[in-house]
Structure 1
Amino acid sequence: MKREGISIAKERWAFKGKRRKYHAEAKRKNPLVYKEAVRLLKEKESVMNIHCETVLTRNTIYMIKKELNDK
């Protein structure tokens, strides 16, 4: 039942999924964390070190890294 509703919403472009918490246009403390992760990635820090220094999960760091490489 739920899957059917999601598939119908996707067809209408109403279902967009979960919003990203850490991105360049984020509000409050989130842009600071994002900018710190970007800075550390540009300094060639490892994902594990960034994970230990920030509150970000490794998957989030990999997403940010991919986003930077795509630009």
Structure 2
Amino acid sequence: MRIARANSKYKGRPIKYSPNAKGAYKVIYDQIIERLDKNESVQDISRYTGVSRATIYKMKKKKQTI
């Protein structure tokens, strides 16, 4: 892995829910962002989408820094 990282071949696991996601993951990402914009609770969003609260908190933090 060190050799792969040194050659920029190893980049880690791809992010599942992101603005660049495709298919169902993009739909879920859009739903989460829309509900965050409406100030819904993270727990309610998690129940609705089935995405973990930790993932939603990461998305919320990333959204606030942009």
TM-score by length of 1: 0.82
Q: Report the RMSD for the aligned CA atoms in angstroms.
A: 1.1
| Residue 26 of structure 1, aligned match among 21, 27, 43 | 21
1:61 is aligned to 2:52 = no
Matched residue count: 66
Q: Distance in 2 between matches of 1:13 and 1:62?
A: 29
Tell me which structure has the larger Cα radius of gyration. Answer: 1
Q: Distance in 1 between matches of 2:55 and 2:2?
A: 26
5+ residue gaps, structure 1, are 1-5
| Residue 44 of structure 1, aligned match among 28, 34, 39 | 39
Sequence identity (%) = 32
5+ residue gaps, structure 2, are none
* Off by >6 Å, runs of 4+ in structure 1: none
TM-score by length of 2: 0.87
**Matched residue, 1:7:** 2
